Structure 1
């Protein structure tokens, strides 16, 4: 990549050898995650006739998927994506098919659906963290890697917006379980194409000595900061969804107006992510952690004082503007905190933090919204992100040191010096986040 311009554009990402093929395959598989939650929810509701049962099944599925994510990522680091990711995706897809078959017709037992959902969630393949680990080798140039992570975050937003729309279109013509089958097909076919890509197939696993989960401790406090930011942002965003609905109700607005405010949040996040990747002048990597998390918190604090839906929409869009940069920076700092052979796990911890935060934020604000004014609830949500920004402050002082150096600066060894590990390319592969 030495011939690349020092300030590459987003278009330069797709001139990297094998990048287009690899990204397309990963996006196909990750689209499954954009539609699977709604698909399982609708399928369980139709099969059992109970929203409570559907909520329980979704909570179990989400818990198994989120909290076992670092362990699944450790398998990817230890054995490599071809040996670990494809069997994982095959098992996951097979269990989704089982769930769809069990719940195809009304009257299916909720226990059987729940057991299938938990088993499937436990096997969810970490395509997002693996794709980001692949990008760290495809794009060892610092500027290009930042754009790659920013674009990855924006594309993930698009997947999670388009997935429910695809489910909605499908259930007009078929039972909801058909959407579960589609999710299974997408994740298996996308993962197969992903591991067959030369960019992925030529990467050697780190091996048992390098990829044990305990090795993440060598990242030390440097890994705590990005995980704390991801957790804080996730908690705040998990609360915002319900708070927007509550705000609309208390201001006597139609329920569907909340969808437009949420769309503004996603749009703000997409714009912020694209701009974050395109800017040439920016604070050092470690300093961006507290700045972006603080931006989310301050925008949500402004939402606490919103007198109407218009000002709330503007404040929420501003919060979204900092979301993708905060998460992108978290992934970059986590990458830099660990050796190359542990990057999938490091990314999975960030991913787990934001997803667990989303679930916890929704549950926590559900307890508060009936007891406090909505403005106060927004203020509590803001305080969480602002606290995460304070936790991340030590990263700013070390931002020029090795702890927060871009992965490209400290892990692009010459071929003869490359250590065996996840991300070390085989001779025939040109060296250059689910």
Structure 2
């Protein structure tokens, strides 16, 4: 435990979301991280619009987006490992600078029509390769700032809800920017947000104190000696996150198919998806406010099962209003599932692997989202729509079973394990 946390008294006897922001250095650090993470809320739409405008080809846009998103997700654990090994202050600024510079290059390439597709694809792939793991890093910093288990759960819930709001407000910000400039201006905005926010983030005292374990010990690990890194893979949280991503991405497509099948048109689809997001925000805030008695691993299994059951019931909806209500109920399980997965990954990780553990969960939910869209596109139309909803919900239920199985195979280690002697078993939170 660092001096940053151990020398500070408990911020509140009855933890609240306001108490989270009253923790020393928390507000400054969190706001800086959100500014940088807003870049991920603006960049996807900016890349899509810029490449489409420069090439006039949706096929090229799809390829560029696939390369950008793929490299962001696949290499996320690798970049998180760099943060764990060298510390946020040494690892994040070079990544943010390279990412921002490549976004500027992509903006320059797409500013006028006629950009070579090969150059766009290469620039997009390289940009994704160096995307800083800001979400996992911020969650690791929360673990350093907060000792109290209940307050830590609220911090993760607040972080998860705020991140979801960033991905809602980001595209709206790009839409506003388009009134004053071309689509590549969104890429420049994303670059500025990333670089400025990351620089402010690493200058926070909370991040300056995040020294890699090897440096804290001041010695090298001898052969056969136990070190800070265990290489433990957060299997249970990753299974739950992948199931969540698969189920939700399929559900998005199923809502569109539901509206088309009943001749509602596309106008009501955004409202149904908004109900899902609203339910998720409410569920995330409730999850942080409730004093849970069960350990995080057990909660994770039940939350995944609840999401699956809600999606199955949604397939029986007679109309769009009922479907919106059912999706709102399903959303109540979304943020708590992801938050609990992040908490469990953090709780079971060694001190020098916390950023990487969270990155695996982040990568799993994004990979699941990609796979779910592909699978749903194949299944929709081949079987009745209600069966598609059952399959979507079934994925979440299967992931709940997977969490139980993985935890038992590991001898219960995936359920909860306090670290550093300061947390109890109850301490066990994409773009």
Could you tell me which of 342, 350, 362 is aligned with 1:351?
362
CA distance in 1, matches of 2:44, 2:285: 27
* SS of residue in 2 equivalent to 1:58: helix
Q: How many aligned positions are there?
A: 409
1:178 aligned onto 2:185: yes
> Relative to 1, partners in 2 of residues 1:78 and 1:396: Cα closer, same or farther, differing over 3 Å?
closer
For residue 114 of structure 1, report the CA deviation from its aligned partner.
1.1
Report what 1:377 is aligned to: 388
Report what 1:68 is aligned to: 75
Q: Is this contact kept in 2: 1:268–1:317, CA < 8 A?
A: yes
* Within-5 A mapping of 1:25-424: 25-207=32-214, 218-219=231-232, 223-394=234-405, 403-405=414-416, 407=418, 410=421
CA distance in 2, matches of 1:4, 1:341: 25
List gaps (5 residues or longer) in structure 1: 413-432
> Relative to 1, partners in 2 of residues 1:175 and 1:406: Cα closer, same or farther, differing over 3 Å?
farther
Deviations 1:116-166 (A, max 9, x none): 100000100000000000000100110110000000110011000000111
Q: Is this contact kept in 2: 1:287–1:397, CA < 8 A?
A: no
Q: Is this contact kept in 2: 1:303–1:315, CA < 8 A?
A: yes
CA distance in 2, matches of 1:159, 1:308: 30
User: Which stretches of structure 1, 4 residues or more, deviate above 4 A after TM superposition?
Assistant: 207-210, 214-218, 394-403, 406-409
Report what 1:8 is aligned to: 15
CA distance in 2, matches of 1:103, 1:349: 32
TM-score, normalised to structure 2, is 0.90
Deviations 1:149-191 (A, max 9, x none): 0001100110000001111111122110000110111011000
CA distance in 1, matches of 2:229, 2:306: 29
For residue 35 of structure 1, report the CA deviation from its aligned partner.
1.2
For residue 200 of structure 1, report the CA deviation from its aligned partner.
0.1
For residue 392 of structure 1, report the CA deviation from its aligned partner.
1.2
* SS of residue in 2 equivalent to 1:125: coil
Q: Is this contact kept in 1: 2:230–2:350, CA < 8 A?
A: no
Report what 1:430 is aligned to: none
CA distance in 2, matches of 1:299, 1:237: 12
TM-score, normalised to structure 1, is 0.90
Q: Is this contact kept in 2: 1:332–1:407, CA < 8 A?
A: no
List gaps (5 residues or longer) in structure 2: 1-7, 222-226, 424-428
Deviations 1:86-127 (A, max 9, x none): 100000010000000001111111211111100000100000
CA distance in 1, matches of 2:410, 2:160: 22
Report what 2:426 is aligned to: none
CA distance in 2, matches of 1:373, 1:76: 47
CA distance in 2, matches of 1:398, 1:162: 42
CA distance in 1, matches of 2:249, 2:214: 37
CA distance in 2, matches of 1:374, 1:203: 50
CA distance in 2, matches of 1:304, 1:182: 40
> Relative to 1, partners in 2 of residues 1:9 and 1:396: Cα closer, same or farther, differing over 3 Å?
farther
Deviations 1:370-395 (A, max 9, x none): 32222221111111100000011257
Q: Is this contact kept in 1: 2:407–2:413, CA < 8 A?
A: no
Q: Is this contact kept in 1: 2:258–2:385, CA < 8 A?
A: yes
